[in-house]
Amino acid sequence: MLRSLLPLGVALLGVTSVLAVEPPSCSLDKKCPEEAPCCSQYNQCGVGAFCLGGCDPRMSFSIDSCVPAPVCKDKTYKMDSLDRYKHISEYLGDSSKVDWVGQGEPLLYNGHTLLTMPPKSVGTVLATTTYMWYGNVKARIKTSRGAGVITAFILFSDVKDEIDYEWVGVDLNTVQTNYYFQGITDYGNTGNSSVDDSYNKFHDYEIQWTPDEIRWIIDGKVDRTKKRSETWNATSQQWNYPQTPSRVQISIWPGGLETNAKGTVDWAGGKIDWNSDEIKKYGYYFATFGEIKVECWKTDKAPGTNKGISYYYNDISATNNTVVDSNRPTILKSFLGTGKNMNKADSTQSGSASQSSAIHAIPGGGIVGPGNIPGASGNGGSGSGGSGGSNSDSGAAGNPSCDSQSFIQNCGQPSTDGGDSNNNNNNSNNGVRGADRTLGASAFAVIIGIAGLLFL
- Catalytic positions, written as ranges: 162, 166
Instruction: Tell me the β-bridge partners of 178.
Output: 164
The region, left, alpha or beta by phi > 0 then psi within -120 to 50, assigned to residue 194 is beta
**DSSP 3-state of 39:** strand
String of b and e for 295-322 (b: at least 16 CB within 10 Å)? ebbebeeebbbbeebbbbbbbbbbbbbb
CA distance 180 to 185: 7
Q: Is the peptide bond before 303 cis (omega within 30 degrees of 0)?
A: yes
Q: How far apart are CA 63 and CA 207, in angstroms?
A: 29
Quick check: 56 and 379 in contact, CB under 8 A? no
Q: Would you list the DSSP string of 414-437?
A: PP---TT-S-------TT---S--
| Cα 77 versus chain centre, distance | 18
C-beta neighbour count of 204 within 10 angstroms:
16
For 212-232, the DSSP string reads SEEEEEETTEEEEEEEGGG-E
* 114 close to 106: Cβ distance less than 8 angstroms: yes
Q: Are 439 and 4 in contact (CB under 8 A)?
A: no
Helices then strands (H, E): number in the chain?
4, 23
SS3 call for 263: helix
Rounded CA-CA distance 303/407 in Å is 9
What DSSP state is assigned to residue 265? Answer: H
Q: What sign does the dihedral 31-34-37-43 (CA atoms) show?
A: negative
Residues 63 and 423: their CA atoms lie apart, in Å, by 10
DSSP 68: P
- DSSP character for 244? S
For residue 51, give the 3-state DSSP assignment.
helix
Radius of gyration of the chain (CA): 21
The Cα diameter of the chain in Å comes to: 63
Q: Left if phi > 0, otherwise alpha if psi is -120 to 50, otherwise beta: which for 162?
A: beta
